[in-house]
Amino acid sequence: MTAGVFVTGTDTDCGKTFVACEILRAVRARGLSASGFKPVAAGAVERDGKLRNDDALALMEASGPKKYPYELVNPYCLPAAVSPHLAADEVGASIDIVQILDAFEKLALGSDFVVAEGAGGWRVPLAPGLDIEGLVLRLRLPVVLVVGLRLGCLNHAQISEEAILASGARLIGWVGTQVDPAMSHLAGNLKTLDERLATPCLGWFPHPATVGVVPVPRSLDVAALLSFTQAV
């Protein structure tokens, strides 16, 4: 089994890319080579005549000096910022899991650790008969759940965790990211998440605008994360 993790989230724009990049940097700081992987990205702009997704580019930057071709890091780059299956339909594309698995294997061969980032949440559809859950089960990676800290996160986090565990995937734990700088009762929500989620908190990050005025952040627990993978 390849050493690495799959980063999923409670929703879109919940901080998955930020957390994935933090994991990549933390793994590299321990002397391991790490590669980011964005199997499917919906929402891209044309740069030098080619479609590029900002999340995939951020993962490439966080992966360090060893560079892989963009098409290997992000096999499916779709222009519309909508659900991937709709974005693919819009341009007449078909998301093929075999192509994704092939790209993943090539990245894994050249890296000690691969950090894959999903699109949206756990049950986002990718193609007929395929969603994020099915992709993760084929990749056979343990999962990190990113909880976007905002109103509604308690419900979304519990439902997402239940779905991940029910699928048979290995859920390492969750990471909180404060996406709403004005979130009310942040400390209380964090405490409730700790109490109600079955898996441990691996860290949480405040919104940049709230540093110094919110509860003390919890640093990313890289040791705990790596203990669940092959890179120990």
Confidence of residue 213 (pLDDT cuts 50, 70, 90): low
Domain count, the chain: 1
128 domain-assigned = yes
Catalytic residue (one of 16, 38, 67, 191): 38
12 domain-assigned = yes
Cα distance between residue 170 and residue 61, in whole Å: 27
Cα distance between residue 5 and residue 174, in whole Å: 12
pLDDT at 231 over 50: no
156 domain-assigned = yes
| Of the listed ranges 59-63, 154-158, 167-171, 211-215, the one predicted with least confidence | 211-215
Number of other residues whose CB lies within 10 A of the CB of residue 29: 10
232 domain-assigned = no
37 domain-assigned = yes
Domain extent, residue 217, equals 4-227
Residues in the chain: 232
Alpha-carbon distance values, 199 to 85, 149, 204, 232 (Å):
30, 17, 14, 20
Q: What CATH number is given to the structural domain containing 208? A: 3.40.50.300
59 domain-assigned = yes
15 domain-assigned = yes
What are the E-state strand segments in 75-142? 76-78, 113-121, 125-127, 130-131
10 domain-assigned = yes
Could you tell me which of 3, 4, 5, 8 has the C-alpha nearest to residue 121?
A: 8
Question: What tokens does 44 get?
Answer: 């891209």
Q: Give bridge partners of residue 176 from the DSSP assignment.
A: 147, 204
Q: Is 191 a catalytic residue?
A: no
pLDDT in tens, 52-104: 999 999 999 999 988 899 999 999 999 999 999 999 999 999 999 999 999 99
